[in-house]
Amino acid sequence: MDLFENKVILITGGTGSFGKACVEKLLKKHDPKAIRIFSRDELKQWEMRQQFSDNPKLRFFIGDVRDSERLKRAIEGVDFVIHAAALKQVPACEYNPIEAVKTNVNGAINVINACLDNNVEKVIALSTDKAANPINMYGATKLCSDRLFAQSNSYQGPNRHTKFSVVRYGNVMGSRGSVIPLFNEQKKNKVLTLTNENMTRFWITIPKAVDFVLESFEIMQGGELFVPKIPSMKLVDLARAIAPRAKIKIIGLRPGEKIHEDLLTKEESNRTFELGDRYIVFSDSLDGWKDKINLYKGIKPVDEDFNYNSLGNENYLTIDQMKKILKKNDL
């Protein structure tokens, strides 16, 4: 049976790139009872209504994850929650750290409490590679959020059975605020700006991110951090794939920016396991976490001191491969 059939699903930050793609996939491939879009931007909600031709299965809730009472009302009767709402721009979070905490940390607490109080079945929070060995406010707040969601599996009782897990992945191709739309705009003037010529990043397409999250709902037991196996690429090669004849201008690192990113750290390796197209990190602060390992058929531990880094990644995209991906995804 389809896990999402006749279920009510709520997506926080649902008017973003991920939310729209996820709604499209759920409507095309699954048969949910309703999908609730929770976000604070009425214009984007109106635009999304038009995009989906006022589909009767879609419900639009104006609200902010900072507002606990509004969240509790919106989540009443919901089966699954995807928490995608966050302040994500590194420079903006550096300049507005208190606001980043209010949304990414306090907002996570509000989502957790609303899900527990409404006995939601399953919850997945979206995270970022910047939460691994964080050096900026965005990464630090998302790491805090990740730990909050994992540990919330301990808040169980006779009337509470909610399972919480986290998905962590790299840069999403073509998402709002990502470098690909910036490069496409800059190539009109034949000058692309890079902060560092050696910079590498993990890359994932929006459809792949959506599939990975929905598949994680299928297998999650609660308390896991799911990390997809995805390719890396040097940003200078990405620039050449988008605008091969453009000049590249190096402008220097922005505040809080890394040259390379981690998806998994050495410190996590003792509780990290490989399963097909993904890695699973178990939360060692939860009682009985080792018992959950045996629930995954074919799982195997990674090597001691394993590190999943965008520079050392075995899967590197060539310029031609990236060109094909950009063309296929209309980016």
Annotated active-site positions, please? 130
Rounded Cα distance, 222 and 105, in Å: 20
Instruction: Kindly report the backbone phi and psi dihedral angles of residue 312, in degrees, each rounded to the nearest multiple of 5, phi listed first.
Output: -90, 5
SS3 (DSSP) at 313: coil
Instruction: Kindly report the backbone phi and psi dihedral angles of residue 219, in degrees, each rounded to the nearest multiple of 5, phi listed first.
Output: -110, -10
Sign of CA dihedral 202, 200, 20, 133: positive
- The neighbouring-strand residues paired with 189 are none
Rounded Cα distance, 191 and 245, in Å: 9
E strands within 238-326?
247-250, 262-264, 272-275, 278-282, 300-301, 308-309
Number of H helices, E strands in the chain: 12, 17
